[in-house]
Amino acid sequence: MPNLEILKTSIDGVLLIKPEVFGDSRGFFFESYTKKKYSQDGIDIEFVQDNHSKSSRGVLRGLHYQISKPQDKLVRVVQGEVFDVAVDIRKGSPTFGRWEGFLLSGENMQQVFVPKGLAHGFCVLSEKAEFLYKCSDYYYPEDEGGIIWNDPDLKIDWPMSDPLLSNKDKKYPRFREIFG
């Protein structure tokens, strides 16, 4: 069975995953998800929904979270490059209000596990990017919350200053307006 390198990050539960990739002149192969292997390495989650998004350079999606039905997410990029961000919104957590960022690409094939209780977002650095993510619960539009991407209290070091945002993402409140 192929190996996974799973690295802990500065936020409890957020994991950077580096799969073993087998490549030669014909291309590559790797297991992007094997329940048995991931469970052995601490990600024992029942995923119920897979999502696939495609975005252009400069698009920023997030920072999103589910309010009463939070989701664990396993995220990766299959084409292009993004800067992926997780923000700890778990009251009582020692890292409450902190963020962690990752460069994910179709080239590095890395994944990030984002546990329940974190807000998530990403911005596209390449011409186009295709982003895949597995979720532990279904998406409920009426249960979605969000934090404004450029919140001055969070001080996320986004690699862009004028992203393309949805109307919804432009209107989200600041972190402290939601969480105090």
CB 130 within 8 A of CB 53: yes
Give me the active site residues, please. 64, 133
**Whole-number Å distance between alpha carbons of 155 and 172:** 16
CA 109 from chain center: how many Å? 14
**Whole-number Å distance between alpha carbons of 18 and 2:** 11
**Residue 104: C-alpha distances to residues 10, 109, 117 (Å):** 17, 7, 21
Strand partners, 131: 53, 77
Q: Which two tokens stand for residue 110?
A: 């890395």
